[in-house]
């Protein structure tokens, strides 16, 4: 043991020690997401190793100089450029630490579910640099970069029963309030760049309202109106109005402790026996403007990348063709931009094979599908319909036609928008890490095939085909295998509906 000669480094090490020592979602007005943690994480039992770490860890952080065995701690030189994004995040921690048994419980859950944490971290590697960059531009605490781990496990396709969508989990109304466009073609709540900007605008507003980050985050989860009423009730009764003193739903009570738990683990992963995959401190993606409609598969081909990887960066597009009428930019891995632009300039094949078709009297889905050489399932998926949907004369549908000219554009004006609440992930979710996702769902009271398909971002036809169902009838407790294209974040039983 030794005492470091400089007070600055001593304080820095003390802060890190405090983070490591401290114990470790309902979004009221905004929405919820399937998360990497259960709704009752206290019930989870940590492993023996986790217990050992927790029992050896002090319960409160101190800003006083302390003697630290230096080799045990990850020291930082704040004057150097960080090559590892985790170091950059650690240097930006600025929210006062919370010491509470609730944090210990959350740490215990993460430590006993390290596989879930690792998958979320790996997924975040595509988006985390951008979030940190935007936080630093605004001078905001980098702890906020950990919030999508709680909201969505950094899955931009996450969707909740409360219709919250994206890695920041906005419901339609709040998304609209923060200029997130939602229409038949595109949903900005799933756009990585647009949703991050909106979320940080919202968080800044909440902090200005409360002057306290824990209360701002409680508001992000529960709703600013609900938190203000809870504060007013305590104030009127002469009780404290801090986060831990408020009467809040269990989910909100555990919300900030989840963030603190993640902060503690990331501040000193070695102390918790956690290995964080390295994330380079450099942009993963870049934006590319568009001037033509383009099929998603064509765009992926021109970028010389798997379709699933392209969708993971561009999850906001609802259709298999990207309409040039939307303002959204394409996101591509930084090392694929030049390849895409070169291939686009030399491309002689059609950029789009999808066109608008206006239904005529007597048209049915099966007849339209047959006319264009499509299956009914693919026609339904492209238009967010079910096999039982009835086609009305004059209704516009998106159909695939491989004989269209190279630059024939989809007639976007004639396609009727779907109600905002009905815009879901459609069938174009990124097929990422599905081998580890929840694959079985037990039917609960009130469930229908349509509600299950909507929640998991698939179609009724896909569920029926996957499970060999001849009808849509379900029985309580019936187990359904989810289609392999789904990207589930957590066990379905842990997903709860909230609205923000």
What token pair was written down for 32? 């919820």
3-class secondary-structure state, position 113: coil
Q: Which residues contact 25 (CB under 8 A, 6 or more apart)?
A: 32, 33, 35, 150, 151, 169, 221, 251, 255, 258, 498
Distances (CA, A) of 406 to 277, 317, 328, 355, 475: 43, 21, 22, 12, 49
CA gap 90, 267 in Å, rounded: 6
Distance CA 65, CA 237 (A): 39
Nearest-angstrom CA–CA distance, 362 and 55: 72
180 and 195 Cβ atoms separated by less than 8 Å: yes
Which are the catalytic amino acids? 151
Secondary element (H or E) of residue 206: helix 192-210
Q: Which two tokens stand for residue 191?
A: 């756009």
Query: Which pairing describes strands 294-295 and 285-288: parallel, antiparallel, or unpaired?
Result: unpaired
Residue 151: which of 60, 316, 26 has the closest Cα? 26
DSSP string covering 256-296: HHHHHHHHHHHHSGGGGT--PPP-BSS-SEEEE---S-EEH
């Amino acid at each position: 043991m030794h005492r470091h000669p400089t007070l600055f480094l001593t304080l820095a090490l003390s802060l890190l020690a405090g983070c490591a020592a401290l114990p470790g979602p309902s979004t009221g007005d905004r929405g919820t997401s399937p998360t990497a943690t259960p709704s009752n994480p206290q019930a989870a039992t940590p492993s023996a190793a986790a217990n050992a770490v927790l029992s050896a860890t002090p319960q409160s952080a101190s800003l006083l100089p302390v003697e630290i065995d230096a080799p045990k701690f990850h020291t930082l030189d704040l004057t150097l450029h960080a090559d590892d994004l985790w170091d950059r995040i650690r240097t930006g921690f600025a929210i006062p630490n919370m010491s509470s048994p609730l944090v210990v419980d959350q740490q215990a859950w993460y430590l006993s579910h390290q596989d879930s944490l690792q998958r979320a971290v790996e997924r975040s590697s595509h988006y985390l640099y951008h979030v940190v960059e935007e936080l630093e531009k605004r001078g905001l605490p980098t702890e906020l970069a950990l919030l999508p781990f709680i909201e969505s496990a950094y899955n931009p396709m996450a969707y909740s029963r409360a219709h919250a969508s994206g890695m920041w989990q906005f419901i339609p109304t709040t998304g609209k309030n923060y200029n997130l466009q939602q229409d038949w073609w595109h949903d900005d709540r799933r756009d990585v760049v647009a949703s991050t900007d909106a979320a940080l605008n919202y968080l800044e507003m909440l902090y200005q309202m409360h002057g306290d980050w824990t209360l701002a985050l409680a508001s992000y989860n529960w709703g600013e109106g609900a938190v203000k009423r809870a504060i007013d009730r305590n104030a009127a009764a002469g009780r404290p109005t801090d986060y831990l003193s408020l009467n809040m739903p269990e989910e909100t009570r555990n919300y900030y402790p989840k963030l603190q738990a993640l902060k503690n683990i990331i501040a000193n992963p070695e102390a918790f026996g956690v290995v964080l995959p390295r994330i380079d401190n450099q942009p993963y993606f870049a934006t590319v403007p568009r001037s033509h409609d383009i099929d998603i598969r064509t765009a992926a081909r021109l970028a010389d990348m798997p379709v699933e990887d392209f969708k993971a960066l561009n999850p906001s597009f609802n259709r298999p063709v990207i309409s040039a009428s939307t303002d959204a930019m394409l996101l591509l891995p930084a090392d694929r931009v030049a390849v895409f632009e070169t291939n686009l300039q030399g491309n002689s094949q059609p950029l789009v094979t999808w066109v608008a078709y206006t239904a005529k009297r007597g048209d049915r889905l099966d007849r339209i599908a047959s006319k264009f050489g499509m299956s009914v399932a693919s026609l339904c998926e492209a238009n967010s319909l079910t096999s039982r949907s009835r086609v009305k004369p004059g209704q516009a549908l998106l159909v695939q036609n491989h004989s269209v000219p190279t630059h024939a554009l989809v007639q976007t004006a004639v396609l009727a928008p779907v109600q905002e609440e009905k815009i879901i992930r459609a069938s174009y979710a990124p097929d990422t890490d599905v081998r580890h996702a929840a694959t079985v769902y037990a039917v609960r009271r009130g469930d229908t095939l349509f509600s299950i398909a909507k929640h998991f971002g698939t179609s009724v036809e896909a569920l029926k085909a996957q499970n060999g169902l001849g009808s849509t009838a379900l029985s309580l407790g019936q187990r359904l295998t989810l289609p392999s294209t789904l990207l589930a974040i957590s066990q379905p039983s842990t997903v709860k509906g909230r609205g923000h």
